[in-house]
Amino acid sequence: SQTIHQWPATLVQPVGSPLSLECTVEGTSNPNLYWYRQAAGRGLQLLFYSVGIGQISSEVPQNLSASRPQDRQFILSSKKLLLSDSGFYLCAWRSTGRETQYFGPGTRLLVL
Amino acid sequence: DQQVKQNSPSLSVQEGRISILNCDYTNSMFDYFLWYKKYPAEGPTFLISISSIKDKNEDGRFTVFLNKSAKHLSLHIVPSQPGDSAVYFCAASAGLQGAQKLVFGQGTRLTINP
Mean pLDDT by 10 residues, chain A (112 residues): 92 97 94 91 88 90 90 96 94 87 95 96
The mean pLDDT value for B57-66 works out to 98
Report residue A86 CA to chain centroid gap. Answer: 13
pLDDT of residue B98: 65
- State the Cα torsion A55-B49-B54-B109 to the nearest 10°: -120
Average model confidence (pLDDT) across chain B: 94
Taking the Cβ of residue B3 and every Cβ of chain A, the question of whether any pair is shorter than 8 Å is answered with no
Ramachandran angles phi, psi of B82, nearest 5°: -55, -35
Across the interface, do B46 and A102 touch by the CB < 8 Å criterion?
Answer: yes
Q: pLDDT at residue B99 above 80?
A: no
Across the interface, do B44 and A98 touch by the CB < 8 Å criterion?
Answer: no
Chain A residues with CB under 8 Å of a chain B CB are 6, 32, 34, 36, 42-46, 49, 51, 57, 59, 88, 90, 92, 94, 97-106, 108
- State the Cα torsion B73-B79-B80-B84 to the nearest 10°: -80
pLDDT of residue B17: 98
More confident residue, B59 or A42: B59
Gyration radius from chain B CA atoms: 14
pLDDT of residue A14: 97
More confident residue, B35 or B100: B35
Of B32, B43, B99, the CB nearest to A106: B43
Contact B84, B75 (CB under 8 A): no
List chain A residues with CB under 8 Å of B59. none
List chain B residues with CB under 8 Å of A105. 42-43
pLDDT of residue A2: 83
Q: pLDDT at residue B70 above 90?
A: yes
Residues B4-58: pLDDT tens digits?
A: 999 999 999 999 999 999 999 999 999 999 999 999 889 999 999 999 999 999 9
List chain A residues with CB under 8 Å of B33. none
